Structure 1
Amino acid sequence: MQFQKNSFQFLKDLQKNNNREWFTEYKPTFTEIQKHVKEVFLEIQENLEKHDEIDKMKIYRIYRDVRFSKDKTPYNPRLAVSYSRLGKQLRGGYFFQVKPGETLLGGGFWQPEKEDLLRIRKEIEQDASEFRAILEDKDFLKYFGGEFGGDELKSAPRGFDKEHKDIDLLRKKGFIATRHFTDAEVLSPNFLEELDNSFKALRPFFNLFSDVLTTNLNGESLV
């Protein structure tokens, strides 16, 4: 199974005609595309479940919530899904969106809870070697460029030394990995395999953060 050209064309047309009148006219087309894409998303989940434990799949609605957004167009011209991992010991989650010129996958910890972020920073402060090992992992380098994405503080977080040798990691407000794809790559017949290989490359990252967030600084289990 693979993504179809008509899905991309619909999203491109929606970008140009982002209004309720156009969408209402082409709603039957969207309904058919939505049905097919859901089947693809389910296959992605099946592939994930061969090497990870997935709790649930969330398909994002195409309707934009404009209440708190500067962008007041009624639709978000993308097809997106996320997969949550199962259980308190399996932290992290997978995200994927199809959007003309902006297709990407991501995974990690976008906006960690305050307590989780402090725990991660304390671990980095004590010993960042395992975090550095993730960034230097050959598969992480291949698929994600060997860096954690996410927002950063301009200076050291409160209570941490601004001269710490790992200040680049301590300043992070989230830890994510993203990979972008061209439209041609998404439409290729082996795309789902390439997507799954990318998700597999996140596992050492997820395993480390899961271990950190379920133990104290002495390595004693909290769950």
Structure 2
Amino acid sequence: MQLKKSTFTYLKELHQNNNREWFAATKEEYVNAQKNAKELFSAIHLNLQKHDDIEKSKMMRIYRDVRFSKDKTPYKAHFANSYSRLGKELRGGYFLRIRPGESFLAGGFWEPNKEDLYRIRQEIALDASEIKEILAAKEFQKYFGGKFESFSELKTAPRGFDKEHPEVSLLRKKGFIASRSFTDAEVLSSSFIEEVDKSFRALRPFFNLFSDILTTNLNGESIL
């Protein structure tokens, strides 16, 4: 199972002709491309289930919500899917986007609620050694560059935390995401599904640690 070149071609053409008239005229091509992407996402889901407990797999709709956007193009020129882990004990989620020239996967905590973010920051302030071990791990370095990304960061330490803390760069983050980009050749290769699964496997120590942090208090006692 792999992504077809025709699916990539369709997405490229959609990017160049992002309007309702063209979309309607090429509906059959869209249906075929969507079917291929669904099959790819399903195969990845099956692999994930072999080493993690997945509650839900969701393919994102191609239609854009343009109500509050300056960009009024009606369609997303990509296919994307999210995979949610099962239950309160298993935190974190997986994500994959297929877009010519801009394909990537990611996993982690994009916009944690204020309670979760505060608890993570508490752990960092108390002892960030386990988190730093995750970042320094061989597989995490290989697939994710040994770093967490964030949709935004504070300019200084959050209120109530030491501005001179040695891990202030972690404390400033508003999210904790690991991501890996793929070239078009990598996405279209027969080994792409395997590479995605290897990357997702490499996220597990990160997910396991943060799951433990978010389900216990500072004394290590369960809060569930």
Partners in 2 of 1:52 and 1:68 — Cα distance? Answer: 37
Any residues of structure 2 matched to 1:21-32 within 5 Å, and which?
A: 21-32=21-32
Query: Given residue 223 of structure 2, which amino acid in structure 1 is its aligned partner?
Result: L
Q: Could you tell me how far apart the structure 1 residues matched to 2:220 and 2:116 are?
A: 15
Match of 1:208 in 2: 209
Q: How does 1:60-71 map to 2 (within 5 A)?
A: 60-71=60-71
Return 5+ residue gaps in structure 1 as ranges: none
Distance 1:69 1:47 in 2: 36
**Alignment partner, residue 79 of structure 2:** 79
Answering whether residue 220 of structure 2 is matched by residue 219 of structure 1, we say yes
* 1:123, distance to aligned residue in structure 2 (A): 0.5
Corresponding residue of 2:158:
157
- How far residue 4 of structure 1 moved from its aligned partner, in angstroms, is 0.6
Offset, 1:211:
0.2
Q: Are residue 92 (structure 1) and residue 99 (structure 2) matched?
A: no
Query: What is the TM-score of this pair, normalised by structure 2?
Result: 0.99
Deviation at 1:32, TM superposition (A): 1.3
State the 1:198 CA deviation. 0.3
Amino acid at match of 1:188: S
| Structure 2 portions without partners, runs of 5+ | none
- 1:16-39: CA deviations, max 9, x gaps? 100000000001110111112111
- After superposition, give the CA deviation of every residue in 1:145-164 in whole Å (9 maximum; x if it has no partner): 00000121111101111100
Quote the residue 1:12 is aligned against.
Answer: 12
Cα deviations by residue, 1:85-130 (Å, 9 ceiling, x for unpaired): 0010000000000000000000000000000000000000000000
Q: How far apart, CA to CA, are the structure 2 residues paired with 1:107 and 1:70?
A: 28
* Structure 2 residue 149 is matched with structure 1 residue 146: no
Q: Partner amino acid for 1:220?
A: E
Deviations for 1:54-97, whole angstroms, at most 9, x for unmatched residues? 00011001111111222110001000000000010000000000
4+ residue runs over 6 A deviation: none
In structure 2, what is the equivalent of residue 50 of structure 1? Answer: 50
What is the identity, as a one-letter code, of the residue corresponding to 2:68?
F
Which residue in the other structure is 1:187 paired with? 188
Counterpart CA distance in 1 for 2:33 and 2:7 is 6
Q: Measure, in 2, the Cα distance between the counterparts of 1:69 and 1:27.
A: 25
Partner of 1:179: helix, strand, or coil?
Answer: strand
Q: Percent identity?
A: 65
Q: Which residue of 2 aligns with 1:122?
A: 122
Q: What is the identity, as a one-letter code, of the residue corresponding to 2:185? A: A
Equivalent position amino acid for 2:4 in 1 = Q
CA distance in 2, matches of 1:71, 1:211: 40
Paired residue type of 2:209: L
Aligned pairs, how many? 223
State the distance in 2 between where 1:162 and 1:123 align.
Answer: 16
TM-score (norm 1): 0.99
- Whichever residue aligns with residue 219 of structure 2, its letter is N
Query: 2:69, 2:126 → 1: CA distance?
Result: 39
- CA RMSD in angstroms comes to 0.6
